[in-house]
Structure formats: structure tokens, C-alpha cells
Amino acid sequence: MPGKTRKTPLKDADRDYLALGLEGSANKLGAGIMKHSKDGAAIVLSNIRHTYITPPGEGFQPRDTALHHREWALKVINDCLTKAGVSMHEIDCICFTKGPGMGAPLQSVALIARTLSLLFSKPLVGVNHCVGHIEMGREITGAQNPVVLYVSGGNTQVIAYSRQCYRIFGETLDIAVGNCLDRFARIINLSNDPSPGYNIEQEAKKGNRLLSLPYATKGMDISLSGILSAAETYTLDKRFRAQGATGDEDTITPQDLCFSLQETVFAMLVEITERAMAHIGSKEVLIVGGVGSNERLQQMMGIMAQERQARVFATDERFCIDNGIMIAQAGLLSYRMGYETPLAKTTCTQRFRTDEVHVAWRA
């Protein structure tokens, strides 16, 4: 409820707490160390990431991604500890992503977490990836009770907090927005370095023709698969010039398509976010997830927020894109509420809804 702030059930830290967070639900392997100090501050001691990048036109396969994570785990975790100047013995808990995500990569990282837990006798905390994004976003931006737009390769959700639960107000009915953009990048053969989404954003800046794509909102939900096929169909159009504009009037360029795709898809996202804000009367919106680093999306959200005298909170790529520190943050909140995941329950799950998590640390 906006305007009504109840006291948080989370007690002030009686001492400094340290958590190691491990994330690997998709093609990023991340490790981070979060410190909750006695004075109430949350300090990022380190946040290291390594991304598995595939050649243009190729997506990342679960098996290869899992292999990548196993190969890089030692280096990434060591770097993370060194950077933080912390030894494993000082850590209070090891937090890992329980889900949602791709099975094989999740399992690889969970295995690493269990191994560390047994080696150093540290408790484990399984974390919901989406809740990790939300908690890190709140911590970094200082947003109190925002409507959260969570947009990444695997997720597209509009979330609002209510009674110790992150309730999903709206979501995609088929593919996630990041997935939609990534797949389109593959269709027009854009590089996956640093990320397909980033390259789409750069191409879109050069486009100027808005092509008609199906705008599919259904109540608070959206559908994106039809847009992807429609965009793909344009690449088969005889007016399509894969090499870009030739000076002819009536041509369709990859840049135009990137532009149209962004304009259409982001307008849908902003619309359902605004609907949720109107519904719960919130004046804050927080964008999290990899797609959240797109500046055009942030700009559109900003215009919407301005119209409603609301504020947009967005994080930069360090925290937007999957990372270890967000897992440490959400896990540590949970741990401080007395929650641990017993070894036998440290399994992973590809399906793990945001609203299944008991958000014990919020009022």
C-alpha cells in the first residue's frame, strides 16, 4: 500500500554479515560479495561476471553454457574473493540461483555452491533469480515500493509487492522480450558481442521508418511471438535491403526493423507498467533485467513517469544484466530472517515463479 509504511520485520544487523552470491541461470556466470554492515549499509565488495558469447546467428545451448560456467567458475570466484579482500572462511552464507533458468547451467552453479558449502562448512541459501533482480534494484536505486518491470532474456513481468509476496500483475504469454530481441538479432545476423540486445539498440538508432507490427496487449499481459514472426516476414519482403539503405524511397532496412521492433515492444511494456502503477497507485517504477539497460526503454518509461508525476529507477549494466551480487543481496536478506536451504533441498528448478517466494524481510 502506497503511503503506508510499516516497520520492516528485518532486524538491524547485530554485526557485519557477508554473503557470496553465485549466478548462472543463463549465459552469464557471476559471483559477488555483499556486505550488510552493522550500521545498516549494504556494500558491494565485488561483482565479477563472465559471459559466454556465441558466434553471430547462434544462440547459447544449455550444454555448452554449463560447460562454460564450469570452466570459468574457479577464476570468477577467486577474482571475486580477491577483489573483495575476503576469504571464504569469513563468509556467512553461500547464495545460489535456484531458478528459474536453463537446467544445465543452473545445476553446474548449484554444484559449485554445494561443494563450497561442504568444503568450508557454510550454509546455503537458494535464491529466486527474479527476486534477486528486484532486491538488488531496490538496494541500488533506493526505490521504496516500486512497480517492477523485469525484462530479460527469459522473463517479462510487471511485478508489485503485496503482503510479503512479489505479485505478478502482467507478463508475457509466450516468449520473453529479451528472447524476442535476441532471436531477431540472429535473424539479421547481428553480433552477440557484447550482447545481441545492445547491438539491436545501436542499429535502431539508425532506423527511422516505423513498420507496422502487431501490438499485442491483453489486459495486463502481452504477447511477443507474433511480433517476432511479423518482423521476420519483413526480412523476406522484396523491399528489404540487408545491407541497409540504398537511397531508394521505399526500402526496408535492418535498422528500420530494429527501430520498429523496439518502438512497438517497448511501448507495450511501458503501457502495462503504467496500468499496474495506476492500479496500485504507485509513483515509482523500477526497471530490472538485461533489457532494462536499453536506453530507449528507459527514456520511454521516463516520459510515461513524467506524465504521471512518478519516478523511474533504473540500474546500469553491472546490476541490470545477470550478476552474482544480486543473488548475494536477496540471499542475505533471507538468511538474516533465519532462512537456510538444507543440502538435500539445494536442487534447481527451471520453473520458479516470482510470486512463489515468501518475502519475509518486507513488511
Site for another protein (CB under 8 A): which residue of 41, 173, 242, 343? 173
Write out the binding residues for another protein, residues 9-38 only, by CB under 8 A.
25-26
* Dihedrals phi, psi of 290, to nearest 5 degrees: -55, -40
> Smallest distance from the beta carbon of 31 to another protein, in angstroms?
19
Residue closer to another protein by CB (options 82, 306) is 306
Q: For residues 101 and 216, give the distance between their C-alpha atoms in angstroms, rounded to a whole number.
A: 25
**Of 81, 185, 127, 35, the residue nearest 322 (C-alpha):** 127
Select the span of 7-15, 80-88, 235-243, 260-268 touching another protein (CB under 8 A). Answer: 260-268
Q: For residues 33 and 21, give the distance between their C-alpha atoms in angstroms, rounded to a whole number.
A: 6
Residue closer to another protein by CB (options 83, 167) is 167
Site for another protein (CB under 8 A): which residue of 139, 182, 221, 256? 221
Q: Any idea which residue has 532496412 for its cell?
A: 253
> Smallest distance from the beta carbon of 286 to another protein, in angstroms?
17
For 251, residues 6+ apart whose C-beta sits below 8 A from its C-beta are: 239, 240, 241, 245
The sign of the dihedral angle between the CA atoms of 328, 76, 80, 14 is: positive
Q: For residues 296 and 198, give the distance between their C-alpha atoms in angstroms, rounded to a whole number.
A: 11
Can you spell out the DSSP letters for 106-132?
HHHHHHHHHHHHHHHT--EEEEEHHHH
Q: Does 102 bind another protein (CB under 8 A)?
A: yes
Site for another protein (CB under 8 A): which residue of 64, 71, 79, 263? 263
Q: Any idea which residue has 537456510 for its cell?
A: 340
> Smallest distance from the beta carbon of 174 to another protein, in angstroms?
9
Q: Does 155 bind another protein (CB under 8 A)?
A: yes
Site for another protein (CB under 8 A): which residue of 135, 139, 171, 182? 171
Q: For residues 13 and 81, give the distance between their C-alpha atoms in angstroms, rounded to a whole number.
A: 22
Write out the binding residues for another protein, residues 179-218 only, by CB under 8 A.
210, 212, 215, 218
Write out the binding residues for another protein, residues 340-359 only, by CB under 8 A.
350-355
Q: Any idea which residue has 518475502 for its cell?
A: 359
Reading the block at residue 86, the C-alpha cell is 575476503
Residue closer to another protein by CB (options 239, 308) is 308
Residue ranges of the binding site for a divalent metal cation: 129, 133, 150, 322
Write out the binding residues for another protein, residues 50-69 only, by CB under 8 A.
none
> Smallest distance from the beta carbon of 299 to another protein, in angstroms?
8
Q: For residues 65 and 283, give the distance between their C-alpha atoms in angstroms, rounded to a whole number.
A: 39
Assess whether the previous peptide bond of 2 is cis (omega < 30° from 0): no
For 3, residues 6+ apart whose C-beta sits below 8 A from its C-beta are: none
Q: Does 127 bind another protein (CB under 8 A)?
A: no
Residue ranges of the binding site: 129, 133, 150-154, 182, 197, 201, 294, 322
Q: Does 300 bind another protein (CB under 8 A)?
A: yes
Strand, coil or helix: 245: coil
Site for another protein (CB under 8 A): which residue of 49, 50, 129, 362? 129
Site for another protein (CB under 8 A): which residue of 119, 243, 307, 344? 307
Helix extents (H) in the chain? 62-84, 103-120, 129-141, 177-187, 196-204, 225-235, 254-280, 295-307, 317-320, 324-336
Q: Does 309 bind another protein (CB under 8 A)?
A: no
Residue closer to another protein by CB (options 215, 339) is 215
Other CB atoms within a 10 A radius of the CB of residue 200 amount to 26
Residue ranges of the binding site for substrate: 150-154, 182, 197, 201, 294
> Smallest distance from the beta carbon of 270 to another protein, in angstroms?
5
Contact positions toward another protein, by CB under 8 A? 25-26, 99-102, 106, 129, 154-155, 168, 171, 173, 210, 212, 215, 218-219, 221, 263-264, 267, 270-271, 274-275, 277-278, 281, 299-301, 303-304, 307-308, 350-355
